[in-house]
């Protein structure tokens, strides 16, 4: 549990580090996206090393955002 919490905190720091505010991507959204992707990648059907985690995080965190927010989310996820 500590490992997953630490990984989520690293993701949150990356999101804030690229300039995304709490209003643009709330911590609750980042936690939900992180939990969903961790659960999805735990299934043996998802292949490893193909960027499923990154694609899922960008897709869930940038959903409904502007082009600039999408670019910042992509940068944060790649930094993560």
Is residue 43 very low, low, confident or very high in pLDDT (cuts 50, 70, 90)?
confident
Least Cα distance to 71 among 31, 24, 8 occurs for 24
Average pLDDT, the chain: 89
Q: What is the mean pLDDT of residues 27-42?
A: 91
pLDDT of residue 68: 83
For residue 46, pLDDT over 70 is answered with no
Percent of the chain with pLDDT over 70: 95
| Separation CA 66–CA 53 (nearest Å) | 21
- Is 80 exceeded by the pLDDT of residue 13? yes
Q: pLDDT band for position 66 (50/70/90)?
A: confident
52, 41 in Cβ contact below 8 A? yes
């Amino acid at each position: 549990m500590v490992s997953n919490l630490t990984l989520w905190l690293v993701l949150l720091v990356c999101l804030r580090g690229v300039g995304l505010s709490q209003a643009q991507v709330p911590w609750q959204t980042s936690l939900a996206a992180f939990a969903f992707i961790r659960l999805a990648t735990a299934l043996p059907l998802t292949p490893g090393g193909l960027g499923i985690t990154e694609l899922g995080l960008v897709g869930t965190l940038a959903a409904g955002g502007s082009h600039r927010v999408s670019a910042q989310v992509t940068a944060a996820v790649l930094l993560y």
